[in-house]
Structure 1
């Protein structure tokens, strides 16, 4: 079994890992820096805060729905490394435009007529950029890694993505606007330099014709993913998992403020715990499976995740404290009797989630021909994006109708049961194939 440390020393993996980590870091640094600046420095209204956050999220997710099918085809039919280099070069241009918009807004120059539209245009372009990069970062692994290394590589990519997301969020809160504008361009330039070291990954198929019609290509992509038994169960189980993650993501800040009576820094602590847990679970499952790609632990992992969600629900219900005047700060929150238990439970929820989802990602690239691996990942990105949007929307509707935040956690529990059922189906299909 190849360990994660071994892979990080290999040129056939390390440059790709660093490239995708910088990609996710820049996405989240720019998006959060932009939203925080608009919400906290340009406007002062809860309605505008909600609108800006919603528009930003929608603009970033929309390209995954529109272009995932095309991205998957293109990655399968062309040299993946060449595509990576073009994508990372485009990121320099996109981030330069976004940084210009941020700098203009910070100086009050043509804020609503030019600066804000430029920032949102850059955000949409980064969504397109990530849509075309997403299928490659997983589908390229079977071309560069041995069969016993794919699970370890997939786990590292997943863990790196979460570390980068978290780092981007933290940096966006720490850096000034001017520092952020420099950082996003600098990270883009470094990312392009690093991606030049990714080894070639030529097309594994003789197909050359890409269907540029997004509706027709998406229909074909869904038919492709649903027509393959193991791929179908993998995609659906992953999609339900991301719906759970979207629901929890929507709830972090309001849960911290309205249930735990804590400030936004406490919500950041919760996000740190969740992201760290996903990273830990993503790496740990490789050791547990000893490099074998199998769904045998996935049903148990997601059921453990559900049980921990129940524990987290009761811990929130038992939280019956009133801060002295203002909301709890981090130090005041951590001094409360249930605080460490809450954070530890959230960490373990994410560990179980990482252990559940990583083997399923490995299924996407190893249970189809290498010539179809990118389309397999693209199918998952397309369907998962829809599930995430629906999950976040349902959470918003429940809040609108006054369903308490703690009770909303039970929706995630129901989705855990569905995911466990799909994972059991996947393992049964896996066993049938082996026999």
Structure 2
């Protein structure tokens, strides 16, 4: 993988204009929405005689409603038309909406402003499928995690800054209304200007007929997504994050006021810390994933959301201050830093959770259906957020305190995560492999970018330890099916991992003829379906550290399926506790120290007609060198 920095994308035309376009959209949404909510809260009589509490519920609902009504149509448009042009048309719509809202601001026309809120909801609905379907067209697979991390960071920072600026501008004594009215128009114009530099992004399905029925189209989109289980469960996992976040964030205003006894600045501090956590976690994903789509981070994020959600409950019950405080006096209170740390970590682990899920959807979904899949996810997100609001209301009616709501949500998150990961154990299996190479082993990959991002192929590697498959799996940018000795396949615990990875057990004909024949049939089927396989041609672990003779099984595979072959070599595993040797395994473990440095070296692809067992063995031996 190219070890580039994700921040370098901000200097490149294929990413930077799009990043700033979406950032300014999120920023403007929240300047406008927060300004309106603020003025209705503090100056309601000059605008309306309606109940302010009702309006405060109505306005966010009107912003979300278009996601339910128009997401299906917006997904079709994003698949049918070029995305750069789509983005520019959406930004022109934003300018029109903000001009309409400016008229509402200047004439004190509340219903015009409410129409503007609904219009900005439509703007965000149209832009959402474009946003996430654009990235895989312009970023390589090893850039997707970093690109998604920047987009998530930019979105949450834009939301936070928009909320702060909107609340500050509108209460300006002399020119508050004018600053908001013309400021939002200016931001919309700036967003359009940045969109002019978005590069051409061809439509994946230009012949797609548009179905204007949102119900039937939504059902069709979700039914299509259900055919790909990892993608569908990633959609549900994404929506669950918004459920979790909607419950927690909705409690922050009253939590800051009634439990922390803080003023509005304390509420802003909680939002700032959470947003900073989301941004940090999103950016850290690239480093932790090794520049590849690492779904092992998703269980890691889910664990953190439950642990720190529960810890926030404990920290809240330990907070004893009962006097009114501003932001500075709050920070001085005993237990305040613990609460802020818990909220920060909720954001960080939320970033670990959400960014890889987006990357899974982008890389494993049919490209011609990606925008519609994202649109279906937006509908699910909106529905989950509505259910979150109802759930929080029900808990309050039942007498839950806000800290108890944090605890209940954390516990519920644990059960949902266990359920999802039991349906697709690949998430948990990848987490175990990722954790292994982040703790016990320190793995460096050499030329791993040679491993193909799609299409059939056979990886061929030396066999040093019981952990070879897990190490290779953790280093690969895509799922691998391993062909392995049936005895290793049956090792307790490891067997569960291998079964989850759909490994193919194989046995010598003299041991089990049926297992051997079935293995070759399964191998041919997997390669026919475009999967990536890995075999260990030695057929057994080395007892001495030297490579055993390569068997002829590779030729049987290539006779049936003449696909490219990729020689690889593991370096540094010999002598570890998981290797096989005459010395005591515990002596080997202590002699290696707590962390083992390894390398996985990948060689150039070979065509099927270039391969023989002898040539392959020489290639692998050359890649391994003297380091065993």
- Alignment CA distance shift 1:261-1:119 (3 Å): same
- Pick the aligned partner of 1:40 from 35, 39, 42: 42
Alignment map for 1:306-385 (pairs within 5 Å): 306-323=306-323, 327-385=324-382
Q: 1:219, 1:230 → 2: CA distance? A: 18
Q: CA deviation at 1:216?
A: 1.1
Query: Structure 1 or 2: larger strand share?
Result: 2
Contact 2:76/2:208, CA 8 A, preserved across alignment = no
TM-score scaled to structure 2, two decimals?
Answer: 0.65
Q: CA deviation at 1:264?
A: 1.8
Contact 2:310/2:411, CA 8 A, preserved across alignment = no
Partner in structure 1 of residue 13 of structure 2: 11
Q: 1:418, 1:177 → 2: CA distance? A: 47
Task: Spell out, residue by residue over 1:296-329, the C-alpha distance to the aligned partner (whole angstroms, 9 max, x if none).
Answer: 1211221122111111101101112220xxx211
Q: 1:104, 1:52 → 2: CA distance? A: 19
Q: CA deviation at 1:80?
A: 0.9
Matched, 1:160 2:154: yes
Q: CA deviation at 1:335?
A: 0.9
Alignment map for 1:28-427 (pairs within 5 Å): 28-43=30-45, 48-105=51-108, 115-175=109-169, 176-323=176-323, 327-421=324-418, 422-423=420-421, 425-426=423-424
Q: CA deviation at 1:423?
A: 4.6
Q: 1:91, 1:257 → 2: CA distance? A: 35
Q: CA deviation at 1:427?
A: 5.3
Q: CA deviation at 1:5?
A: 1.5
Aligned CA-pair RMSD: 1.8
Q: 1:369, 1:3 → 2: CA distance? A: 28
Q: 2:117, 2:263 → 1: CA distance? A: 28
Q: 2:59, 2:421 → 1: CA distance? A: 33
- Alignment CA distance shift 1:423-1:129 (3 Å): farther
Q: CA deviation at 1:43?
A: 4.1
Contact 1:262/1:329, CA 8 A, preserved across alignment = yes
| Secondary structure of the corresponding residue to residue 337 of structure 1 | coil
Q: CA deviation at 1:349?
A: 1.1
Q: 2:424, 2:357 → 1: CA distance? A: 9
| Secondary structure of the corresponding residue to residue 296 of structure 2 | coil
Task: Spell out, residue by residue over 1:233-275, the C-alpha distance to the aligned partner (whole angstroms, 9 max, x if none).
Answer: 1011111111000001110011111111111210110000001
Count residues in correspondence: 423
| Secondary structure of the corresponding residue to residue 86 of structure 1 | helix
Partner in structure 2 of residue 109 of structure 1: none
Q: CA deviation at 1:420?
A: 2.4
Contact 2:19/2:154, CA 8 A, preserved across alignment = yes
Contact 2:81/2:206, CA 8 A, preserved across alignment = no
Q: 1:310, 1:104 → 2: CA distance? A: 48
Q: CA deviation at 1:207?
A: 2.9
Contact 2:79/2:206, CA 8 A, preserved across alignment = no
Task: Spell out, residue by residue over 1:313-368, the C-alpha distance to the aligned partner (whole angstroms, 9 max, x if none).
Answer: 01101112220xxx211111111011111111110111011111100011111111
Query: Structure 1 or 2: larger helix share?
Result: 1
Contact 1:365/1:376, CA 8 A, preserved across alignment = no
| Secondary structure of the corresponding residue to residue 140 of structure 1 | helix
| Secondary structure of the corresponding residue to residue 207 of structure 1 | coil
Task: Spell out, residue by residue over 1:190-213, the C-alpha distance to the aligned partner (whole angstroms, 9 max, x if none).
Answer: 000110000011112243311111
Q: 1:280, 1:193 → 2: CA distance? A: 28
TM-score scaled to structure 1, two decimals?
Answer: 0.93
Q: 1:38, 1:321 → 2: CA distance? A: 31
What 5-or-longer segments of structure 2 have no aligned partner? Answer: 170-175, 428-478, 480-500, 503-530, 534-628
- Alignment CA distance shift 1:202-1:75 (3 Å): same
Larger Rg: 2
Bigger shift: residues 288-297 or 122-131: 288-297
Q: 2:219, 2:60 → 1: CA distance? A: 24
What 5-or-longer segments of structure 1 have no aligned partner? Answer: 106-114
Bigger shift: residues 305-314 or 411-420: 411-420
Q: 2:135, 2:422 → 1: CA distance? A: 26
- Alignment CA distance shift 1:400-1:264 (3 Å): farther
Task: Spell out, residue by residue over 1:151-199, the C-alpha distance to the aligned partner (whole angstroms, 9 max, x if none).
Answer: 1111110110000000000101211222111110000000001100000
